[in-house]
Amino acid sequence: MATTGSGSPSPEPAAEALAGSCLCGGVRYRARGPLQGMVRCCCRECRKASGAEFATNGSVTREHFELVSGESLLREYASSPGQYRVFCGQCGSPVFKRYDAQPDLVRLRLGCLDTPLDQKPAAQIFTSERLGLTRPDPDLPTFERMPND
């Protein structure tokens, strides 16, 4: 904890409050950022799951994630062993991804955010799999897999 000029403790900076929901509004969540490992992913799986040219994703710890409503609407698809894409079974919106190997992590699909986000992606990944509708962002580093993978 930081201290003020008088030597008394000052509060820590507040974690960024994030809110998200699916297209139909049945699934709602709250999370505390900042997001970890925020990237734009152009891989075939993210493109197919999102229906977009790329998906922007970022992680929070499970303790910083709260499902507010719609748990009964959630469905999962095992896109690869131990990796589950979680989506709204009513409208189909991709909401988050979870991993058996990292049960403390929730990988948010940032297109579902309702809260403005000032944080920018740290990188763009799997750009060799992109469709080529737009150019990669020249201001972001490019990797063919997640950095530190």
Per-residue pLDDT of 118-142, as tens digits, reads: 899 999 999 889 888 888 888 898 8
Query: Could you name the CATH architecture of 17-143?
Result: Alpha-Beta Complex (3.90)
CA gap 26, 70 in Å, rounded:
5
CA gap 54, 1 in Å, rounded:
39
pLDDT of 110 higher than 90: yes
Quote the pLDDT of residue 104.
96
Contacts of 5 (CB under 8 A, 6+ apart): none
Please choose, from the candidates 22, 93, 102, the residue with its C-alpha nearest in 3D space to the C-alpha of residue 62.
Answer: 102
Burial of 128 (0-12, 13-18, 19+ CB in 10 A): exposed
pLDDT band at 34 (very low <50, low <70, confident <90, very high): confident
Q: Is the dihedral of CA 145, 148, 87, 76 positive or negative?
A: positive
CA gap 47, 74 in Å, rounded:
20
Can you tell me whether residue 112 is helix, strand or coil?
helix
Q: What is the mean pLDDT of the chain?
A: 87
Q: Show the CA angle centred on residue 91, arms to residues 52 and 55, nearest 5°.
A: 25
